[in-house]
Amino acid sequence: MQESQQRALRALDRRGRLRSLAPRRGLDFSSNDYLGLAASDALREAAESALARGVCVGAMGSRLLRGNDPEHEALEHEAAQFFGGESCLFFAGGFVANHTLLSTLPARGDLIVADELAHASMWEGMAASKATSVTVSHNDANAYSDAIRVWREQGGTGRVWIVVESLFSMDGDRAPLADLQSIAQRHEAMLIVDEAHATGVYGPQGRGLATDLDGANNVITVHTCGKALGAMGALVTLPSLHRNFLINRARAFIYATAPSPLIAAIVRDSLKICAAGDEARERLQHLVTLARSEIKSKLGLSATATQIQPIHVGREARAVSISKQMIEAGFDVRAVRPPTVPDGTSRVRLTLTLNVGSDDIRKMLATLAKALEEHAS
């Protein structure tokens, strides 16, 4: 066993894909802390207030045993109201939420249709599901319809589950949610939308890009709490029937110690901050507009209209070298490479947060322009 693991690590090293943990260094251009809440006084005070009123740090057991805390239930009630869902279930993180949904709800004989760039957590859930899974071209709504039609023609009779991110984490582009909702209605399908990178940033009061769909009886949304909300966990808004089914059948929910009640209490405050955060979202969008302009003028590249800006560089070694140079210059810019992204599409992934200002962005992109030129070959 140990020798096979050593061989696997050596093979990764030879291919330039051996990873290791690295500390935070320099200005933040790689985190998902879009509203700058993670280290904020507001959330620190929320934690202190919760502890002062006796909220437990640990849940002490699964939700079905003694681990079901009033903070969990209060958060789920408030989140369902905030996002407009019929009900809500709180998970320890977005990965486990997506994995649990897709490994539990679609049944044998069903079909899962997923965007080819859907998050790894979704792929893991689909791999564990008894349903059939197919992928379609990125952001091609017609491809979903075609895949469903072909499946039906081949004798498929179960339910269809459409899976997508509202804002794609590696490319920074948005999904055609209105088109997908129309397709879901036409085929009596369920639509699962991962709002991880949209929650807190887009929609009225930061409710996400799927806010107009939430509450429909064929829509499930996943709102992670460890990005713009500054904490951790994931809030899944969904019809009550599906919530009850997960509570009774989802092994990752039934047999896991419940999320920290303290974290649940903090997320409750995060949602209040999010609801009142229009000024913060405006400041973030100003930074996005500035970055788009600077990327065009300094790098000669087009940019996304979101807080996620992938700078494609092609080769893995080039992405790693550029990242290293940027970090040494005081900018925490990380490389993203296979298997996270397809071969030949390695990139440095820039994220814009309120942890930096306009001058920081200008300096970072000027430094990046030099790094790209120095590593042009």
Query: What pLDDT was estimated at residue 158?
Result: 97
Give the closest residue to 210 by CA, choosing from 171, 173, 168, 176: 176
Residue 214 has pLDDT above 80, yes or no: no
Which of 62-76, 203-217, 273-287 is predicted with the least confidence, judged by mean pLDDT?
Answer: 203-217
Kindly report, residue by residue over 355-367, the tens digit of the pLDDT.
Answer: 999 999 999 999 9
**Residue of 30, 103, 145, 169 with catalytic role:** 169
Domain ranges of the chain: 42-275, 278-374
Average pLDDT over residues 118-145: 97
Q: How many residues does the chain have?
A: 377
Give the closest residue to 335 by CA, choosing from 298, 372, 295, 360: 372
3-class DSSP state of 27: strand
The answer, yes or no, to whether the previous bond of 204 is cis (omega within 30 of 0) is no
Q: Which two tokens stand for residue 196?
A: 């991880």
**Residue of 119, 187, 223, 242 with catalytic role:** 119
CB 313 within 8 A of CB 347: yes
Rounded Cα–Cα distance for residues 161 and 289 (Å): 35
pTM: 0.95
Which of 10-14, 45-49, 188-192, 193-197 is predicted with the least confidence, judged by mean pLDDT?
Answer: 10-14
**Residue of 171, 194, 214, 269 with catalytic role:** 194
Query: What pLDDT was estimated at residue 207?
Result: 98
Q: Is 115 a catalytic residue?
A: no
Average pLDDT over residues 101-111: 98
3-class DSSP state of 294: helix
Q: Is 32 a catalytic residue?
A: yes
CA dihedral 295, 296, 298, 304 (to 10 degrees): 10
CB 141 within 8 A of CB 176: yes
Q: Is 165 a catalytic residue?
A: yes
Beta strands in the chain (DSSP E): 27-28, 87-91, 111-115, 132-136, 160-165, 190-194, 219-224, 234-238, 308-314, 331-332, 334-336, 346-351
Average pLDDT over residues 366-371: 96
Query: What pLDDT was estimated at residue 377?
Result: 62
Q: Which two tokens stand for residue 206?
A: 């930061």
CA dihedral 302, 304, 307, 313 (to 10 degrees): -50
CB 237 within 8 A of CB 216: no
Half-sphere exposure of 135 (CA within 13 A, CB side): 11
Average pLDDT over residues 197-225: 95
CB 157 within 8 A of CB 132: no
Residue 1 has pLDDT above 90, yes or no: no
**Residue of 28, 110, 115, 165 with catalytic role:** 165
Question: Cα dist. 308→32, 175, 277, 316, 351 in Å?
Answer: 9, 14, 19, 19, 5
Average pLDDT over residues 89-110: 98
Kindly report, residue by residue over 299-346, the tens digit of the pLDDT.
Answer: 999 999 999 999 999 888 999 999 999 999 999 999 998 888 888 889
Q: Phi, psi at residue 326, to the nearest 5°?
A: -65, -40
Kindly report, residue by residue over 169-192, the tens digit of the pLDDT.
Answer: 999 999 999 999 999 999 999 999
Residue 19 has pLDDT above 90, yes or no: no
Q: Is 197 a catalytic residue?
A: yes
CATH 3.40.640.10 applies to domain 42-275: yes
Q: Phi, psi at residue 337, to the nearest 5°?
A: -145, 175
Identity (one letter) of the amino acid at 244? N
Query: What pLDDT was estimated at residue 289?
Result: 98
Half-sphere exposure of 120 (CA within 13 A, CB side): 7
Query: What pLDDT was estimated at residue 87?
Result: 97
CB 253 within 8 A of CB 91: yes
Tell me what the pLDDT averaged over the chain comes to. 96
Identity (one letter) of the amino acid at 189? A
Q: Is 119 a catalytic residue?
A: yes
Q: Is 3 a catalytic residue?
A: no
Give the closest residue to 316 by CA, choosing from 375, 275, 240: 375
Average pLDDT over residues 106-114: 98
The architecture (CATH level 2) of 278-374 comes to Alpha-Beta Complex (3.90)
Those residues with Cβ within 8 angstroms of residue 147's Cβ, 6 or more apart along the chain or in another chain: 111, 113, 134, 136
Share of the chain above pLDDT 90, in %: 90
**Residue of 197, 270, 323, 332 with catalytic role:** 197
